Structure 1
Amino acid sequence: MSLEVVNPFDLSPIGSVPVASWEEVDAYLAEAHALYRNRDGWMKPHQRAKILHRAMEIMEQRKDHLAHQIANEGGKPLVDAKVEVDRAINGVELCIHEMGALKGTEIPMGLTAAGDGRFGWTSREPIGVVVAVSAFNHPLNLIVHQVAPAVATGCPVIVKPSGDTPLSCFEFISILHEAGLPEGWARAVSPPRDVSEKLVTDPRAAFFSFIGSAAVGWSLKSKLAPGTRCALEHGGVAPVIVDPSADMDKTVASLTKGGFYHSGQVCVSVQRVFAHSSIVGELSSKLAAAANALKVGNAIDGDVECGPLIRPREVDRVAEWVEEARAGGAEVLCGGEKLSDTTYAPTVLLNPSPDATISKNEVFGPVVCVYSYDDVNHAIAQANSLDVAFQAAVFTNDLASAMNSYRNLDASAVMVNDHSAFRVDWMPFAGLKHSGHGVGGIPYTMHEMTIEKMIVINS
């Protein structure tokens, strides 16, 4: 039995991966657990680094193929898919570099008489079997963020990619094997939902890495076996504050990229823009003009800037949310319509109701909402009113304004004069409230995939 993968623009078949049964998954878990329990068989750091170096070389040789595959299965425009491949290669390199930073510390023992004559220090060792479940929107780089840190730290890993975009994941695992990693140390599987849940909640899983919807992530966390640690990365409804001192043209260009990159299918995509009433008309009209100029089409075409949504039903959902907002008084400045069963026009809404679905929930589509404000503290209060919080942004040339937004926005990161979707792979990346649990970013993930173990010697 196999899972067919289609291009999300024209729904044409482009490949398939095998559907794993519980018997196969159970065997992989047993093998991974046995590898971890056999401490004498752990790969040395220099062996793991050599494998990752070789994997980088293979990825460099196949950059064009990998980028086309990302665009073909995930609908990310080719120009952005090429950037994703570069980031994925750099991510593997970052894992190698961070291996040298995984170290312990000396713990002073003589601070009380009870500690006299003793020496203590810590070291880091792998936590155990890592089980990862991933999302569709960055089908190679997300896998690198979940799998390469496990390899670097010496953890056996089993990864389940999104059923929409499994090809890049299976290929990365294959590249690791080609680079010299024994197969049991990294497996890709695509089982049915019930088997996936058994995999995640199995007591042999020491660490669970999840990227996807909050409903699924929090549900799975509640079912984890006692002792299993986890990191959850969900979505937000990213707020942006724009004050009158902001550079208008630079702000519009940044918001256009942050809002419509990958057709808004990014967990920190610009969604709610709060602009001062003195500039809201100019900002919203210029943003609408920029959005209206974006070319929508098949992501594998080199000049396409906005690809399809991942499934036709997502197009229908976005259309329903926009129509609800329109009926509630929002002004549709551009877009606001399905272009086909698989694409939706880049859309800018002006002043939708704060109670509209699109004002409260992650749209994960090519829609940016602009709201007018007079008192920035009221705008920040509205930005903070939701049960999600991830990254945010403020556009201003006033230092006091920047610091006020930084201090008061509910966010794990606040970008100043940059859009909310900015990220480099070595920075902390963490959802707050319902948006996640734990901290992502390759160095932080590697830290969470290890334990700090202490030795005390009585001399």
Structure 2
Amino acid sequence: MTWQVLNPYDQKCIGSVDLVDWSKIDRWLDEARTLHEDRQAWIPVHERIAILQRASSLMHERAESLAMQIAREGGKPLVDARAETSRAVQSVELCVHELFASGGRQIPMELTEAGAGRTAYTFREPIGPVVAISAFNHPLNLIAHQVGPAVATGCPVLVKPAKDTPLSCKSFVEILYEAGLDERWCRFVPCTDDVAEQMVTDPRTAFFSFIGSAKVGWMLRSRLAPGTRVALEHGGAAPVIVDENIPRENVIPSLLKGGFYHSGQVCVSVQRVFVPRAELPDFAAALAAGAKALKVGDPTNEETQCGPLIRPAEVDRIEAWVAAAVESGAELAAGGKRIGPTLYHPTVLIDPPRAAKVSREEVFGPVVCLYGYDSIDAAISQANELPYSFQAAVFTERQHIADYCVERLSGSTVLVNDHTAFRVDWMPFAGRRHSGLGTGGIGYTMSDMSPEKMVITRSSSGLD
């Protein structure tokens, strides 16, 4: 069996990958477990550093072709695909940096009489075989975030890419091989969902890294073998509070970027924006004008700002959600219609009902909803009412309002005067509640994949 890889813009086949069956994965899991259990087989840290440095150099040399591959298989506009490629190169470099900066720590023991005469320290060891399942929306950098830390910490890893975007993952794994990594330490595993579940839930899997839908992630977590550690990164319906009297030119460009970057196919994309009710008409007009001016089309064109959605079914879904919101009373300020099988106009809705799907579920498309509010507490209450909690934002020129929102908005991160889709690769990145489990970011993932082991030594003078 194979996966045919389609360009989401024109639906033409641009490649294929052969699927891996369970018999081969079974052998690879045995191989991974054996590698981990045989300490003589572990790759020395200096060799891991050299491999990652060579991989980073190769990626830098091939940056333009990698960016074009992202644009062609994932539909991300070329300007943003180039930025993703640069981030992926940096993510690999960050793995090296973390190896230089990481290590164990001393644990004070003589804080009580019971600990007297003892010294203690920790060091890190690889957790064991890692299974990573990734998402389509950042097909190179997400793989770098999952596989890079596994290689850096000395964990054998099996990686399943998203069905729509396996080519970038394949390229990354092949670059690691070219950089000197033995193939046994990293396996490219495109496979069917049932085979993937069997791989994830196998007791030989020590750590499961998942980026994708909450429904799938939480289901897989419930079926893990005892002892398997896990990191889940899902999405949300990111809220933004706009304070009164803030100049619109300080807000609109940021919301346009945060709401329509990659056509909204981002787990922390701006989705729900709360604006003082008296200012809502003018604010909506300005945001709608900006949305209408965005260039939608072929992602490989330099001028394109919004590319296609990943597949036609996603346009069908979003079209239905927007139509239902409008029928229920939302005002359509911009967009609201498809351009083709996978293209959808950047859309701005005003006051969709709180029960509408666009208000309660992650749209994962080019739709931004505006809501009028009469008090900051009412806006915060509505922002927090969903079971998701990831990144939130507030735009204000008043420090006490910034502090108030930071304290009360539900989220692992609250951005002040910036959009919710902001991220750099070394920062902690974590969904709470339904939005995920654990903390992403290169250093944080490496920590998860290399738990501390403690040594306690009793001084000889204290022996009986």
- Which AA in structure 2 matches 1:192? T
Measured after TM superposition, the shift of residue 247 of structure 1 is 2.7
d(CA) in 2 for partners of 1:137 and 1:275?
Answer: 29
Q: Which residue of 2 aligns with 1:434?
A: 434
Measured after TM superposition, the shift of residue 102 of structure 1 is 2.2
Task: Describe the SS at the equivalent of 1:210.
Answer: strand
What pairs up with 1:397-436 in 2 under 5 angstroms? 397-436=397-436
d(CA) in 1 for partners of 2:321 and 2:279?
Answer: 26
d(CA) in 2 for partners of 1:226 and 1:377?
Answer: 43
Gaps of 5+ in 2: 460-464
Deviations 1:286-340 (A, max 9, x none): 1100100111112112211111111100000000000010001111011000111
d(CA) in 2 for partners of 1:136 and 1:344?
Answer: 18
Q: Which residue of 2 aligns with 1:55?
A: 55
Tell me if 1:100 matches 2:121. Answer: no
Q: Which residue of 1 aligns with 2:215?
A: 215
- Which AA in structure 2 matches 1:306? C
Measured after TM superposition, the shift of residue 100 of structure 1 is 2.1
Q: Which residue of 2 aligns with 1:83?
A: 83
Contact map agreement 1:36 1:129 (CA 8 A) in 2: yes
Measured after TM superposition, the shift of residue 5 of structure 1 is 0.3
What pairs up with 1:226-241 in 2 under 5 angstroms? 226-241=226-241
Tell me if 1:171 matches 2:171. Answer: yes
What pairs up with 1:13-412 in 2 under 5 angstroms? 13-412=13-412
- Which AA in structure 1 matches 2:162? S
- Which AA in structure 2 matches 1:139? P
Measured after TM superposition, the shift of residue 48 of structure 1 is 0.4
d(CA) in 1 for partners of 2:245 and 2:412?
Answer: 24
Measured after TM superposition, the shift of residue 158 of structure 1 is 0.6
d(CA) in 1 for partners of 2:401 and 2:110?
Answer: 49
Structure 1 length-normalised TM: 0.99
Task: Describe the SS at the equivalent of 2:27.
Answer: helix
- Which AA in structure 2 matches 1:16? S
d(CA) in 2 for partners of 1:34 and 1:203?
Answer: 14
- Which AA in structure 2 matches 1:246? I
Deviations 1:247-297 (A, max 9, x none): 311200000000000000000000000001232122111110010011111
Query: How many residue pairs were aligned?
Result: 459
d(CA) in 1 for partners of 2:138 and 2:252?
Answer: 25
Task: Describe the SS at the equivalent of 1:4.
Answer: strand
Deviations 1:385-406 (A, max 9, x none): 0011100111110001111110
Measured after TM superposition, the shift of residue 27 of structure 1 is 1.3
Task: Describe the SS at the equivalent of 2:96.
Answer: helix
Bigger mean CA offset, 98-107 vs 324-333? 98-107
Task: Describe the SS at the equivalent of 1:16.
Answer: strand
Task: Describe the SS at the equivalent of 1:453.
Answer: strand
Deviations 1:164-206 (A, max 9, x none): 0000001100000000000011111111111100110011111
Measured after TM superposition, the shift of residue 31 of structure 1 is 1.1
Deviations 1:105-161 (A, max 9, x none): 112223333333222111111111110000000000000000001111111111001
Gaps of 5+ in 1: none
d(CA) in 1 for partners of 2:134 and 2:414?
Answer: 25
Measured after TM superposition, the shift of residue 32 of structure 1 is 1.1
- Which AA in structure 2 matches 1:154? G
- Which AA in structure 2 matches 1:229? R
Task: Describe the SS at the equivalent of 1:279.
Answer: helix
d(CA) in 2 for partners of 1:383 and 1:130?
Answer: 36
d(CA) in 1 for partners of 2:67 and 2:414?
Answer: 30
- Which AA in structure 2 matches 1:307? G
- Which AA in structure 2 matches 1:417? N
d(CA) in 2 for partners of 1:240 and 1:397?
Answer: 15
d(CA) in 2 for partners of 1:371 and 1:193?
Answer: 39
Structure 2 length-normalised TM: 0.98
Task: Describe the SS at the equivalent of 2:251.
Answer: helix
d(CA) in 2 for partners of 1:342 and 1:100?
Answer: 45
Measured after TM superposition, the shift of residue 445 of structure 1 is 0.5
Measured after TM superposition, the shift of residue 2 of structure 1 is 1.6
Task: Describe the SS at the equivalent of 1:393.
Answer: strand
Q: Which residue of 1 aligns with 2:462?
A: none
d(CA) in 2 for partners of 1:262 and 1:382?
Answer: 26
The percent of aligned pairs where both chains have the same amino acid is 58
Measured after TM superposition, the shift of residue 24 of structure 1 is 1.1
Q: Which residue of 2 aligns with 1:443?
A: 443
Tell me if 1:4 matches 2:4. Answer: yes
d(CA) in 1 for partners of 2:442 and 2:279?
Answer: 39
Deviations 1:66-94 (A, max 9, x none): 00000000000000000000000001111
Measured after TM superposition, the shift of residue 344 of structure 1 is 0.7
- Which AA in structure 1 matches 2:423? R
d(CA) in 2 for partners of 1:112 and 1:303?
Answer: 66
Task: Describe the SS at the equivalent of 1:317.
Answer: helix
Contact map agreement 1:384 1:410 (CA 8 A) in 2: yes
Deviations 1:11-52 (A, max 9, x none): 100011110000111111111111111111211111100000
Task: Describe the SS at the equivalent of 2:453.
Answer: strand
d(CA) in 2 for partners of 1:448 and 1:335?
Answer: 43
- Which AA in structure 2 matches 1:202? D
